[in-house]
Amino acid sequence: MGGKRRDDIWEFLGRLSRRAMTTPAGSGAGFGSVSWWGLSPALDLQAESPPMAPDSQANTEHGTPELDVLLLGSVDGRHLLRTLAQAALWSPRKFHFYVLENNLEAVARHMLFFSLALEDPEKMGLQERSEVFLEVWGNALLRPSVAAFVRAQAERLARLVPEPDRLAEQLPWLSLGSLKFRERDALEAVFRFWAGGEKGPETFPMSRLWDMRLRHYLGSRYDARRGVSDWDLHMKLHDRGARVIHTREFRRWRDTGVAFELRDSSAYQLPNRTLASGRLLSHRGERVAARGYWGDIATGPFVAFGIETDDESLLRTSNGQPVKTAGEITQHNVTELFRAMAAWGHPSAAPRDPDEVPGEINGVQEPAASSPGSFTVHFLPLGSTQTLHHRSCYKGRFQLLYVACGMVHLLSPELGVCVAPGGRLIVELARYLVDVRQEQLQGFRDRVGELARAAGFAPQPGTGPSESFARFYKCEDSAPIDAAADSGILHAETRAPPPELLVPPPEATNSLSEDLAQPLQGQIPLSEPLQLPSESQASLEALAPPTGSQTPKPESLPGPSEIMTSSIS
């Protein structure tokens, strides 16, 4: 079933991709195969969840209701941070966030960001925390002081990951118990790399990698990159609601990868190692693990925190132009998020599940009266989406399911079984993918609706139209998962797809270029051999299955953003 659903999505999105290959940018491969930041504004997940039943508090152990949320491809933790920051507006609850990503580098970034958000205010002030977050989250290059902070945190996390007891003591909000042992080992290796275990300026030459990606993306229009940047910004992002993104900041990010310039431009010199990931490439008939930058070079990190805000004065215009840029709005929003996170108190006092068993909360102390509740972030094994329903503790457990646009192919009846009746589903749409045309966005929305119906969901009534998210609720009498075989969604289009949709096209092949990637050592091999042609030449950008730190399953697809662009590249 998983293979058929994957092929169905490949065929549909392949048609969109082939029609999008004539975009002004040329190749249409600007979103890469790894997603580092979200392509939609941050949500308060508590506001998106079903209303709390009046008697739920009386029926819940310790008298505090719980909210269980499953997130596929949330990438940067923005939804979790906003939910916790807004928790004071709601009744106290215990939050259990179950996060499933498709690469361990994203898991590592989650851990780094939450460690930063919950840092002791006496050690790091609010403004410094906000600025460090923005630079690590969205900049390709870092200031020396920020790079030193990343190294120090990475060393700390690398020591904690293999020691569960110390991890539980120092990061009580974190649960890695569901990860496989080899995934924990690979996660530790990611932190070791961040900490500078592999030293030297050529270990991760970010500026050169960025420029090579940009050259491949623009092709013959590289010399006209300023005009291409202006076209994508004004004719696409601005038309789709992101008018606060300023031309100057967008051009700077497209040219250098620096989205948030909080200090003098000359201060940004060191590569941001948290944006590095590995991919297996075929070179001269052999599989080679290579490290490089495989992320977004088309849209940028401005959408997640920079185009919406609770302070309406930041969105006002003067002579038809916004008075604040997306970078300024992002800095304000992140600062307010971190300010509100202080309500959770010092994390060392938070409760922890000692046995790592989902749903067990025996021995948990009641949070302080001033606390809005407690929370735990559970990281699930890579590629486990289609097997969650086999575990009884996950069946009907989640009140809310969030699916990023690059993970839509994983929305299945099996996954729907894990959502409680009346639970909600939110699917991120492709509104801010600049290489997807306006008419194709409606096709993607329609496809999302078909997948949701097959999984047992119906459109959520009473919600206004949204171009960023599609909202559904779990039907009380939803059909069992076997009924999906008879649904219209898996009918004609699930027949054997054309071969060109299952392997990269000849122009997107596998010549290993030392200018684009660096060799990796000690990586976990893929479980399936590569099926890449070996005759033709191209940049590494459009190549290869996931990073060596992953163990992808045959039914899985590579990166969160690659679902929209795999056939393009």
pLDDT in tens, 195-237: 987 776 678 999 999 999 999 999 999 999 999 999 999 999 9
Q: The whole model's pTM is what?
A: 0.79
Task: Give the pLDDT band of residue 170 (cuts 50, 70, 90).
Answer: very high
How many C-beta atoms lie closer than 10 Å to residue 26's C-beta? 18
Q: Reply yes or no on whether the pLDDT at 521 is more than 60.
A: no
Q: Reply yes or no on whether the pLDDT at 289 is more than 50.
A: yes
126-148: average pLDDT: 96
How many C-beta atoms lie closer than 10 Å to residue 536's C-beta? 12
- Strand 93-100 versus strand 66-72 pairing type: parallel
Half-sphere exposure of 253 (CA within 13 A, CB side): 25
Q: Reply yes or no on whether the pLDDT at 56 is more than 70.
A: no
**Structure confidence at residue 278 (pLDDT):** 86
**Structure confidence at residue 171 (pLDDT):** 94
**Structure confidence at residue 478 (pLDDT):** 56
Task: Give the pLDDT band of residue 8 (cuts 50, 70, 90).
Answer: low
pLDDT in tens, 110-129: 999 999 999 988 889 999 99
Please classify residue 495 by burial: count the beta carbons closer than 10 Å to its beta carbon, then call 0-12 exposed, 13-18 middle and 19+ buried. exposed
If DSSP codes are grouped into helix, strand and coil, which group holds residue 218? helix
Q: Reply yes or no on whether the pLDDT at 519 is more than 70.
A: no
Half-sphere exposure of 299 (CA within 13 A, CB side): 29
**Structure confidence at residue 182 (pLDDT):** 95
Cβ atoms of 372 and 44 closer than 8 Å: no
Cα–Cα dist 135/139, whole Å: 5
362-386: average pLDDT: 69
Q: Reply yes or no on whether the pLDDT at 297 is more than 60.
A: yes
**Structure confidence at residue 51 (pLDDT):** 86
Task: Give the pLDDT band of residue 16 (cuts 50, 70, 90).
Answer: very low
**Structure confidence at residue 159 (pLDDT):** 96
How would you classify residue 6: left for phi > 0, otherwise alpha for psi between -120 and 50, otherwise beta? alpha
Task: Give the pLDDT band of residue 18 (cuts 50, 70, 90).
Answer: very low
Cα–Cα dist 553/527, whole Å: 7
Considering 9-13, 44-48, 344-348, the range whose residues carry the highest mean pLDDT is 44-48
Which has more pLDDT, 40 or 17? Answer: 40
- Strand 174-175 versus strand 469-474 pairing type: unpaired
Q: 367 CB contacts (<8 Å, ≥6 apart)?
A: 64, 92, 350, 351, 373, 374
Cβ atoms of 134 and 414 closer than 8 Å: no
Task: Give the pLDDT band of residue 560 (cuts 50, 70, 90).
Answer: very low
- Strand 317-318 versus strand 457-459 pairing type: unpaired
| Residue whose tokens read 């046995």 | 355
Tally of helices (H runs) and strands (E runs) in the chain: 15, 15
Task: Give the pLDDT band of residue 554 (cuts 50, 70, 90).
Answer: very low
How many C-beta atoms lie closer than 10 Å to residue 502's C-beta? 14
Q: Which of 187, 204, 193, 167 has the alpha carbon at shortest distance from 106?
A: 187
Amino acid occupying residue 467: E
67 φ, ψ (degrees, to nearest 5)? -130, 120
**Structure confidence at residue 110 (pLDDT):** 97
Task: Give the pLDDT band of residue 52 (cuts 50, 70, 90).
Answer: confident
Lowest-pLDDT range of 117-126, 139-148, 253-262, 518-527:
518-527
355-384: average pLDDT: 62
**Structure confidence at residue 32 (pLDDT):** 84
Amino acid occupying residue 62: H
> What is the DSSP track for 370-394?
TS-EEEEEEEPPTT-GGGGGGSTTT
Amino acid occupying residue 2: G
> What is the DSSP track for 334-372?
HHHHHHHHGGG--GGGS---TT--TT--TTPPPPPTTS-
Cα–Cα dist 170/163, whole Å: 11
If DSSP codes are grouped into helix, strand and coil, which group holds residue 542? helix
Q: If you average pLDDT over every residue of the chain, what do you get?
A: 78
Q: Reply yes or no on whether the pLDDT at 131 is more than 50.
A: yes
**Structure confidence at residue 357 (pLDDT):** 42
pLDDT in tens, 459-500: 998 776 788 999 999 987 655 444 333 333 333 333 333 322
Cα–Cα dist 450/453, whole Å: 5
Cβ atoms of 99 and 388 closer than 8 Å: no
Quick one: tokens of 475? 């039907």
Lowest-pLDDT range of 69-78, 353-362, 417-426:
353-362
Which has more pLDDT, 421 or 20? Answer: 421
